[in-house]
A and B are shown apart, each in its own frame.
Chain A
Amino acid sequence: AQTVTQSQPEMSVQEAETVTLSCTYDTSESDYYLFWYKQPPSRQMILVIRQEAYKQQNATENRFSVNFQKAAKSFSLKISDSQLGDAAMYFCAYRASNYQLIWGAGTKLIIKP
């Protein structure tokens, strides 16, 4: 069965600095999708970034980028120029071929002003 592991329950970063959130996953599939979602205190789940496994190029969305290492089954999220509005829970998720999304336990990101 697929699993997703986020080993950092909590991370903190100074405003304007860069932080990297870790995610590893376990799968025997070769074709899949990976996602990072953000959940602010409002509870709304918001997509941050998506990566298709067949693409070697790392996805980027403005200040957010990923380091996708397929062989190592690693999918980390880098947030550059951190802003107060980035404070939230961040979840890594894996989409398997049977359409199910498998989620990590989340990382709480704290931004220090």
Chain B
Amino acid sequence: NAGVTQTPKFQVLKTGQSMTLQCAQDMNHEYMSWYRQDPGMGLRLIHYSVGAGITDQGEVPNGYNVSRSTTEDFPLRLLSAAPSQTSVYFCASSPNAGFEQFFGPGTRLTVL
């Protein structure tokens, strides 16, 4: 099993550009989520999904979109990048919400 994979590992964007962060898991987990991690802060939930076709907003959803067309994939889209979105982004999955979340390696995003 590859576990949770994220691409790319690093990305630099200019203000106003859009991009998609990819996340995939091969463990058949129903629950997937996206977090951002900023210096001096814990992870903050952006969006999450409890199954294919179902998504919901987390703590900091503004400026991000998600979709969940398959159990395996949960891409995160930045619609118009802003410097405030400079952060490290983590994707995670779990078999259900009560179990541990398995994390991907993260994507470091810089918006200039």
Contacts and interface: CB of A to CB of B under 8 A. Distances in A.
Contacts of A6: 42
A75 interface: no
A35 B97 contact: no
Interface in A6-60: 6, 33, 35, 43-45, 47, 50, 52
Contacts, number: 49
A101 B88 contact: no
A99 B88 CA distance: 22
A59 to B, nearest CB: 12
Interface stretch (B12-20, B44-52, B65-73, B79-87): B44-52
Which DSSP category, helix, strand, loop or mixed, fits chain A's interface?
A: strand
A52 B59 CA distance: 23
Interface string B31-67: 1010100001111110010100000001100000000
Interface of A: 4, 6, 33, 35, 43-45, 47, 50, 52, 91, 93, 95, 99-106
